[in-house]
């Protein structure tokens, strides 16, 4: 008899950069397809899934602002980039038979539903994956903060952060082979040690809502499913 998943409803946060694969910018179709396969497999476990996808593979508001753009204007462009990524992910999920809805915090009725909390919850109850696009709809907030906000609003059991490595380390393990991986941390430890897995606003929001953050490697096929079953390598951020 197969084991039940340890979470019933989760939000998966994927960075825009994760969708680039080996490209310098834009979308790697192979990466999109593989992440969609992983999401499909988790949905097939009976888990309710929603997603937030960043836009850094197309445009980052912070980078635009550092280049001299008005920050609010640059963040607006970044929010639009997340809509493009959400539509791309919706395409691949639906190709695999997973019913999906995109809800945007910025009104664009011909492309996506407006964000309506109760409607989003109902979609998930019916087995649909909901992809939240356009961040919070406001400048000066990252998609990490948007992910924490939406996870709290949806009553998720956990916020999963898919990254380039299999958890939170003392340093970047790709640069420092002696870096050690944490199995579990508290929210305050993440902030005090400046581990930068998510921005401080997102960590604080998760802490206030007692929302566990689970960090794992989004590039490892099957890792999402493994985390749902309590297997594999990952780091959990939670208060004891």
Q: Give 53-79 as a DSSP string.
A: E--TTT--HHHHHHTT--HHHHHHHHH
Residue 221 exposure: Cα atoms within 13 Å on the Cβ side: 6
Whole-number pLDDT of residue 1:
46
Residue 191 region, left (φ>0) first, then alpha (ψ -120 to 50), else beta?
alpha
46 is in an annotated binding site: no
pLDDT in tens, 120-162: 999 999 999 999 999 999 999 999 999 999 999 999 999 999 9
pLDDT at 74 over 50: yes
Q: What is the mean pLDDT of residues 3-22?
A: 95
Percent of the chain exceeding pLDDT 90 equals: 89
178 is in an annotated binding site: no
Question: How many residues does this entry show for the chain?
Answer: 240
236 is in an annotated binding site: no
Alpha helices in 67-186 (DSSP H): 71-95, 117-125, 143-153
66 is in an annotated binding site: no
170 is in an annotated binding site: no
207 is in an annotated binding site: no
115 is in an annotated binding site: no
Q: What is the mean pLDDT of residues 78-101?
A: 97
237 is in an annotated binding site: no
Instruction: Extract the tokens encoding 123.
Output: 């979609």
38 is in an annotated binding site: no
Where exactly are the structural domains of the chain? 9-237
Q: Is the dihedral of CA 96, 125, 53, 206 positive or negative?
A: negative
Q: Nearest Cα to 78, choosing from 98, 97, 54, 44?
A: 54
144 is in an annotated binding site: no
Cα 8 to Cα 30: distance, rounded to the nearest angstrom: 28
145 is in an annotated binding site: no
CATH number of the domain at 9-237, out of 3.40.605.10, 3.20.20.70, 3.90.1150.10, 3.40.1160.10? Answer: 3.40.1160.10
pLDDT in tens, 204-218: 999 999 999 999 999
**Rg of the chain over all Cα atoms, to the nearest angstrom:** 17
- Is the pTM above the cut of 0.85? yes
Distances (CA, A) of 63 to 56, 73, 75, 100: 9, 12, 9, 31
Beta 181-182 vs 184-185: how paired, if at all? unpaired
Cα 149 to Cα 11: distance, rounded to the nearest angstrom: 10
Whole-number pLDDT of residue 44:
97
């Amino acid at each position: 008899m197969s084991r039940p998943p340890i979470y019933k409803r989760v939000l998966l946060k994927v960075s825009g950069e994760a969708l680039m694969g080996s490209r310098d910018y834009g979308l790697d179709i192979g990466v999109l397809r593989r992440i969609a396969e992983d999401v499909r497999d988790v949905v097939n476990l009976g888990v309710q899934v929603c997603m937030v996808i960043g836009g850094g593979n197309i445009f980052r508001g912070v980078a635009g602002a550092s280049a001299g753009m008005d920050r609010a204007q640059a963040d607006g462009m970044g929010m639009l980039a997340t809509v493009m990524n959400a539509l791309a992910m919706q395409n691949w999920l639906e190709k695999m038979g997973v019913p999906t809805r995109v809800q945007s915090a910025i009104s664009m009725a011909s492309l996506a539903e407006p964000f309506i909390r109760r409607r989003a919850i109902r979609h998930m109850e019916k087995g649909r994956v909901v992809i939240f696009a356009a961040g919070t709809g406001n400048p000066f907030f990252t998609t990490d903060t948007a992910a924490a906000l939406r996870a709290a609003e949806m009553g998720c059991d956990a916020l999963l952060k898919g990254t380039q490595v299999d958890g939170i380390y003392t340093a970047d393990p790709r640069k420092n082979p002696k870096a050690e991986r944490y199995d579990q941390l508290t929210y305050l430890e993440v902030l005090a040690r400046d581990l930068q897995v998510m921005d401080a606003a997102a960590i604080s929001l998760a802490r206030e809502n007692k929302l566990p953050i689970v960090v794992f490697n989004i590039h490892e096929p099957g890792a999402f499913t493994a985390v749902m079953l309590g297997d594999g390598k990952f780091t959990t951020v939670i208060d004891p």
